Amino acid sequence: MKRALLAVLILLAGCGGSGDDTKLEKIVYLTGVGVQGREAYVQVAIDQGWFREAGFDVEIRPGNGTGQNLQLLQGGRADFAAVDVAAALIEYGKGTFTGFRIVSAVHQKTLACLMALDGSGITKPADLKGKRVAYIPGGVVRVLYEPYARLAGADPTGVEWVTMPAQQMAQGLAAGSIDAATQFVVGRPGVEAAAKGRTAVVLPYADVLPDLYGNGLAVARDATADPERVRRFTAVMLRGLEYAVDHPAEAGAVLARHQSTQPAAVAAQELELMRPYVRPLGTFDKAKVDRGVAVMRSAGAVPAGFDAGQVIAYDLAG
């Protein structure tokens, strides 16, 4: 049923556009963090002309994490943005950002992980005790480490947490200045490229926290007053997502043409790793969301009685 609805929305999107650029709505889209291969699907949808057919002229701007993306959305400086669903729920629960809604899932499982290199002595969560682990303050990987470690049968104490910008973590691992880093599973190709031949050891949170979603598509709360517009954009984004993970080499090449710092091969590898995380396209399962919120509540990340339905627009998702 969901896939049939998506097909209808895509058909409508394809019928609603215009070849006249003056009639296209200008859209600013924020990536999750920087410009990386895992988000090539938006560029693919632009290059294929699907957004234009749907009436949109989309400009991609590099995001800088969920917090800043939500700030730009609420300030009217972006129209759509990629955010980590768990991180966005946590921000809403704290009252930091409340003027937004999440209208579609991108990843059906969290991509959060801890990553090390072979030879580090880290092969399982229990090995992190006494190690130097890089993190971004407020990042969802760090926030949910304690429940992850407990459910993985490890003692969550004794880790030496080191703050470090995300862009420096791969080099930090390669140089040995840190033992492990908070990462996302699709970041493995970039880390291994920086490590020049060493193999990454990946500890995925989804192995023990299967009810957490990864990225989602967020809009300012007042944007949902025009649900047809949101659905048109979402349908095209999901079309690009499906195409990109099914044609990773082509999508990687598309991104590399527009972003010279992104090697096509690395982007393709990221998309291949992402493929198992994206289906069913766009949908949210309320029971699963509620189980994920319970995990966040156990970590003290959201308050008792928190209702994710205040944030996730179930009627617009999928």
pTM of the full structure:
0.89
Q: How many Å apart are CA 43 and CA 27, to the nearest integer?
A: 13
Q: Quickly count: other Cβ atoms within 10 Å of residue 307's Cβ.
A: 12
Q: Is 189 within 8 Å of 270 (Cβ atoms)?
A: yes
For residue 208, pLDDT over 90 is answered with yes
> φ and ψ at 307, to 5 degrees?
-115, 110
pLDDT for residue 17: 47
Residues 15-50 have pLDDT tens digits of: 444 456 769 999 999 999 888 899 999 999 999 999
Q: Which fold does the domain 112-207 belong to in CATH?
A: D-Maltodextrin-Binding Protein; domain 2 (3.40.190)
Q: Is 79 within 8 Å of 28 (Cβ atoms)?
A: yes
| Max CA pair span of the chain | 61
The radius of gyration of the chain's CA atoms, rounded to the nearest angstrom, is 19
Residues 303-314 have pLDDT tens digits of: 999 999 999 999
Q: What is the mean predicted confidence (pLDDT) over 214-218?
A: 97
Question: Of 50, 208, 205, 10, which Cα lies nearest the Cα of 112?
Answer: 205
Measure the CA angle with vertex 231, ends 227 and 237; round to 5°.
Answer: 145
pLDDT for residue 16: 45
- Residue 318: pLDDT band (50, 70, 90) is low
Where would I find the H helices in 65-184? Answer: 66-74, 85-94, 140-143, 145-151, 166-175
Residues 67-96 have pLDDT tens digits of: 999 999 999 999 999 999 999 999 999 999
Q: How many Å apart are CA 20 and CA 16, to the nearest integer?
A: 12
pLDDT mean across residues, the chain: 92
pLDDT for residue 299: 86
pLDDT for residue 65: 86
pLDDT for residue 205: 97
Q: What is the mean predicted confidence (pLDDT) over 204-223?
A: 96
Where would I find the H helices in 259-303? Answer: 264-274, 286-298
Ordered by start, the domain boundaries in the chain are: 2-108+212-310, 112-207
Same fold, 2-108+212-310 and 112-207: yes
pLDDT for residue 34: 85
In angstroms, the first-to-last Cα distance of the chain is 10
Highest-scoring range by mean pLDDT, 2-6, 44-48, 256-260:
44-48
pLDDT for residue 20: 64
Residues 265-299 have pLDDT tens digits of: 999 999 999 999 999 999 999 999 999 999 999 88
Q: Which amino acid is at 97?
A: F
Q: Is 57 within 8 Å of 89 (Cβ atoms)?
A: no
Please return the burial class of 290, using the count of CB atoms within 10 Å of its CB with bins 0-12, 13-18 and 19+.
middle
Structure-model confidence comparison of residues 14 and 218, the more confident one: 218
- Residue 13: pLDDT band (50, 70, 90) is very low
| CATH (residue range 2-108+212-310) | 3.40.190.10
